Chains A and B, each alone.
Chain A
Amino acid sequence: MSSLKRIGVILLVAIVLIAMSTSFVSNDILNRAIIIGLGLDLSEDNQLVVTAEVVSPGNGSEQVGTFSKTITVTGQTIAHAIQQISQQMGKEASLGQCALLVLGKSLYTKVDFSQIVDFFIHSYNFKESSAICCAKGEAKELLNYGEAMSQSASLAVIAMLQQQSQSVGLPTNSLLQYARSQKELSCTGFTNYVEFVPSANTDSQNPNKTQGYFAYKKLVVFRKNKFVCTLDEQHLRALSLLTEDVSGEVFIVEVQGEKLTFIVSKKKVDLKIVDQTVQVDVQLKCRLARTDDFGLSGNLTVQTDEDIPQDVLDKLQLDAKKLLQDFVAFQQQNNVDLMGLHERYRQKLGTNNFTSSFAMDQIAFDISVTVKQN
């Protein structure tokens, strides 16, 4: 190649590079509103009220230590509301890092919110692995408890729902699991129910500051994205017993006038369908609760040398069985399938009228529980 040609090629490459670099849209982080949690409520005039917890990069004018701030907008649809966030903040609303969806009571008890779920499922950016939960009151209120928690409200909820839940006996759902549950077979599924519980103020410098924690004691059941009922703490424990990858359920047994606490550290759940009967076989391994062994659970937990008497194990077995029987009766009464039985039947029989629509009281249950010492 002659020198002149080389220069020509270099010039051409330079021009192309300049053209390319100017065509790329710059994405300065300060020009983006990075949303980590979204709260959805319904206003009195049926408008969608969206509260976004936005990461605050903290420029010079902002308070040092501010992690996030919330912004609340109103829109006719979810897309419209998110557009409103961009307009009001003057920054592009970025949903790629959003990991929590909170449904406010005004929304989930009043309307069918299928369109909202579909919006997030169809979004290229939004992660289906995000957590979804229902608030006791308004979602806006829940996301504004960041200061009371001394951290981001969204991150506090996510940390519990997606990271610690498995070791404290808390069944949880991701957006994907929830969205699937509302579209498949029985169209029934649940989300976690989160409430803020105020605690005594221990901060002498800020006596008026709210302090507290988030409690996750219930589940909310939906069918086709419409509210069905709320599961109380006992049913939540039963569902937890039936969820194999969750352990840490607590049982209290009175032995010779003394109350002893036992924790489920391992479990095996076997659900079999024999004709019209569902055989539920739950094998639990329990140990006596100690102060410092929080989180010591799971299938790889080591054996303990403490000896739990057989009569105590029998009591535990009775308690667990009763819990499961009540839970099954509750599902039959309300015709909700939280055990994935429709899916089990589908896997066995294929998709047909029966597997898509059988009522829970059409099914007989045979529940057996065995409890052993871990």
Chain B
Amino acid sequence: MNRDKVTVGQFSLLTLLVISGSKFLSLPSKLAETVGHDGWLVLVVAFLWDFVCLAFLAWAIKLNQQHHLPLDKILRTTLSPIVEKAVHVVFFVMFVCRSVVLLNSCYRMFAVTFDVSTNWVMFVLPIVAVAFFAIARGFNSIARMGQLMCAVIVLCIVALLSFTIRQTDFGGIFPIAEAGVSNIIKATFEHSYWFSDYVFVYYIFEHIQVKKRVFTPIFTSFAVGVVLTVAMNVIFVALFGSIAPEIKLAMSKISVFSVAEITNGRWDWLTLSVWIMSVLVKIVIFIYCAYKCGEKLFGLHFSKPNVWMILAIALLLMLPLFVPAENIAQDFMDKLLVPFALVQYLLPISLPLLMTLANKKLNTGVQK
């Protein structure tokens, strides 16, 4: 039995979860710092790029149903083993960096919103343990979990949005594109690191199974994720205006506007604690992908989870003990932004072509 098997429907729901799983934390304030109240336009432009890439990816998924080729084999056959390794290196660094940044945001959110104080090691280890379990059980376990939780998480995001809307003056987002189109596009590129959340697909590519439709479920989930994320950002900039750059954890601050000041219940805690599950799912997916990257980088395949590999990833996740998590993300953006952007945007667009070439080459090889 293939434990990594994922249906298109499950992949679509996971895409929706990962899109809404991180962009409500530190990204809104970073965008507000760069382009003011036009932060939401950066999201729109970035998501347009993502949509194009996702369309090519969906096409590639459809094409791959015949041969179920993994990404590493496609790259090795069509380009070269060096390119394949380089792609894995970029992805590995990206997955580790993003996991660190997400963990750091979650850690702060737990501390400030839920008043849970612990140390970094004890915060990270249980999440790594869940990732270890997911690796042992296969990606299907994550997909099933996402399937179960998606509706509840989306409902909680909608609830958080709808309660905050009453307090928001949407006039604050005008004039639209005040920062200038070129600055918005520049900011989109500079923050591209935060997008293309579907990149985890490369590590389950050969396991995705199409039953009926490919494009409809993927595009629908993506559209829902985009609408929720953009709406949240619009509310954020309209609500906080010029002080938005100073609000480092958007979601935990937006949510306080969903409760009256002296009510007994904390509705925001309920919705937040459900929503944060999507961040945890995203972290688990990224740790899973980092593990798979490691396997492919060293040309290994473990039938059982390799403890040393997981330990190595866990150690990398301890980096914030020595370096601020924000610096890790910044270093990634400074040093690997262009290679990552190449992989992020060129790889999905060229994947259908690479797949066709790989199939031809492999078929020719078999015939000979």
Interface residues of chain A, those whose CB is within 8 Å of chain B, are: 16, 19-20, 23-25, 27, 94, 96, 99, 121-122, 124-125, 127-131, 155, 158-159, 162-163, 176, 179-180, 183-184, 343-344, 346-351
In the complex, whether B17 has a CB less than 8 A from a CB of chain A is no
Q: How far is the CB of B93 from chain A (nearest CB, A)?
A: 28
The reply to whether A129 and B261 contact each other, CB–CB distance below 8 Å, is yes
The reply to whether B118 and A124 contact each other, CB–CB distance below 8 Å, is no
Q: How far is the CB of B129 from chain A (nearest CB, A)?
A: 8
Report Cα–Cα, A33/B16, bound state, in Å: 41
* Also in contact, A159 and B117, with CB within 8 A (given A16-B125, A121-B243, A180-B242): no
Please report the number of residue pairs spanning A and B whose Cβ atoms sit closer than 8 angstroms.
Answer: 83
Report Cα–Cα, A55/B354, bound state, in Å: 66
* Cβ–Cβ < 8 Å partners of A158 in chain B: 261-262
* Also in contact, A179 and B122, with CB within 8 A (given A124-B249, A127-B256, A129-B257): no
The reply to whether A183 and B243 contact each other, CB–CB distance below 8 Å, is yes
The reply to whether A27 and B171 contact each other, CB–CB distance below 8 Å, is no
* Cβ–Cβ < 8 Å partners of B118 in chain A: 20, 23-25
Interface hub of B171, B253, B262 (most chain A Cβ within 10 A): B262
Q: Is the interface of B mostly helix, strand, loop or mixed?
A: helix
Q: How far is the CB of A116 from chain B (nearest CB, A)?
A: 15
Chain B interface extent, by class: 35 or more
The reply to whether A163 and B125 contact each other, CB–CB distance below 8 Å, is no
* Also in contact, A131 and B261, with CB within 8 A (given A25-B117, A343-B171): yes
Report Cα–Cα, A99/B256, bound state, in Å: 11
* Also in contact, A20 and B122, with CB within 8 A (given A131-B261, A176-B239): yes
Against A, the Cβ 8 Å flags (1 = close, 0 = not) of B105-119 are 000100110011111
* Cβ–Cβ < 8 Å partners of B175 in chain A: 346-350
The reply to whether B256 and A180 contact each other, CB–CB distance below 8 Å, is no
Within 8 A of A (CB), among B206-253: 239-243, 246, 248-249, 252-253
In the complex, whether B260 has a CB less than 8 A from a CB of chain A is yes
Report Cα–Cα, A16/B123, bound state, in Å: 12
* Cβ–Cβ < 8 Å partners of A24 in chain B: 116-118, 122
Interface hub of B116, B118, B243 (most chain A Cβ within 10 A): B243
Report Cα–Cα, A122/B240, bound state, in Å: 12
In the complex, whether B126 has a CB less than 8 A from a CB of chain A is yes
Within 8 A of A (CB), among B161-201: 167, 171-172, 174-175, 178
* Also in contact, A96 and B262, with CB within 8 A (given A128-B256, A350-B178): no
- The 6 tightest CB contacts between A and B, nearest first, are A124-B112, A99-B261, A347-B174, A25-B117, A23-B122, A127-B256
6 A–B contact pairs at CB < 8 A?
A23-B121, A122-B246, A124-B249, A163-B261, A176-B243, A180-B240
The reply to whether A163 and B260 contact each other, CB–CB distance below 8 Å, is yes
* Cβ–Cβ < 8 Å partners of B239 in chain A: 176
Interface hub of A129, A348, A350 (most chain B Cβ within 10 A): A129
* Cβ–Cβ < 8 Å partners of A155 in chain B: 262
* Cβ–Cβ < 8 Å partners of B172 in chain A: 343, 347
* Also in contact, A121 and B117, with CB within 8 A (given A128-B253, A347-B174): no
The reply to whether B119 and A23 contact each other, CB–CB distance below 8 Å, is yes
Nearest residue (CB) in B for A351 is B178
* Cβ–Cβ < 8 Å partners of A27 in chain B: 115, 117
The reply to whether A184 and B241 contact each other, CB–CB distance below 8 Å, is yes
Q: How far is the CB of A171 from chain B (nearest CB, A)?
A: 14
Q: How far is the CB of B33 from chain A (nearest CB, A)?
A: 14
Q: How far is the CB of A95 from chain B (nearest CB, A)?
A: 10
* Cβ–Cβ < 8 Å partners of B252 in chain A: 124
The reply to whether B122 and A19 contact each other, CB–CB distance below 8 Å, is yes
Given contacts A124-B248, A343-B172, A347-B171, 10 further A-B contacts (CB under 8 A): A20-B122, A24-B118, A124-B249, A128-B257, A129-B257, A129-B259, A163-B262, A346-B175, A348-B174, A350-B178
Nearest residue (CB) in B for A25 is B117
Nearest residue (CB) in A for B175 is A350
* Cβ–Cβ < 8 Å partners of B260 in chain A: 162-163
The reply to whether A124 and B122 contact each other, CB–CB distance below 8 Å, is no
Q: How far is the CB of B268 from chain A (nearest CB, A)?
A: 10
* Cβ–Cβ < 8 Å partners of A176 in chain B: 239-240, 243
The reply to whether A159 and B112 contact each other, CB–CB distance below 8 Å, is no
Q: How far is the CB of B305 from chain A (nearest CB, A)?
A: 13
The reply to whether B262 and A99 contact each other, CB–CB distance below 8 Å, is yes
Q: How far is the CB of A54 from chain B (nearest CB, A)?
A: 15
Q: Which of B119, B171, B243 contacts A180 (CB 8 A)?
A: B243
Report Cα–Cα, A155/B240, bound state, in Å: 25
Q: How far is the CB of A277 from chain B (nearest CB, A)?
A: 19
